[in-house]
Copies of this chain bind each other. A is one copy, B any other.
């Protein structure tokens, strides 16, 4: 069980819990909450894989299904105590965002697409699950109005590109990119940085 695997599962758990909690607030039943949590966790990567003409990653390993079940169990059992852990979940979510962005970028480059497609796919991998979650619960997508979220993935993509041009590769390149995404996210929330709105 590698470090990479643990990080990916923590990110999946954080994404699933965010979906399950928002679905609960809408009084969805357990099954509905599970579906929303699962969609939040795997939706971005699924869209990416469909556009890359690949089999959605979660169809090749049942661990994502199991982690979502654990997320549902956590919310059912510890629901009332989870509010105190909001900062913990925020960190997990940011870590998941960073890791998912790296996975999206590398998978797209491995499929032979140019770098700008990889940045879009990295951003989609990190942020589209949250958009699908908000569509399922019939809310306007949060990420289009709150602190910098998807843009942190774009920033990570630029960092990836610069570091790769500078000769970096492998695990070092992955870690630097993920840290860039996480840092961009943490800084934007810490200082309340938001993009301007139109009109």
Contacts and interface: CB of A to CB of B under 8 A. Distances in A.
Interface of A: 20, 23-33, 35-36, 46, 50-51, 53, 55-56, 59, 62, 65, 75-76, 79, 113-114, 116-117, 120, 131, 135-141, 143-145, 148, 150-151, 194-199
Interface of chain A, helix or strand or loop or mixed? helix
A177 B166 CA distance: 51
B144 A65 contact: no
Count this chain's copies in the assembly.
Answer: 3
A160 to B, nearest CB: 17
B51 A199 contact: no
A196 B28 CA distance: 9
B140 A198 contact: no
A157 B196 CA distance: 42
A141 to B, nearest CB: 6
A89 to B, nearest CB: 16
A141 B198 contact: no
A163 to B, nearest CB: 22
Given A53-B55, A59-B113, A144 B198 contact: no
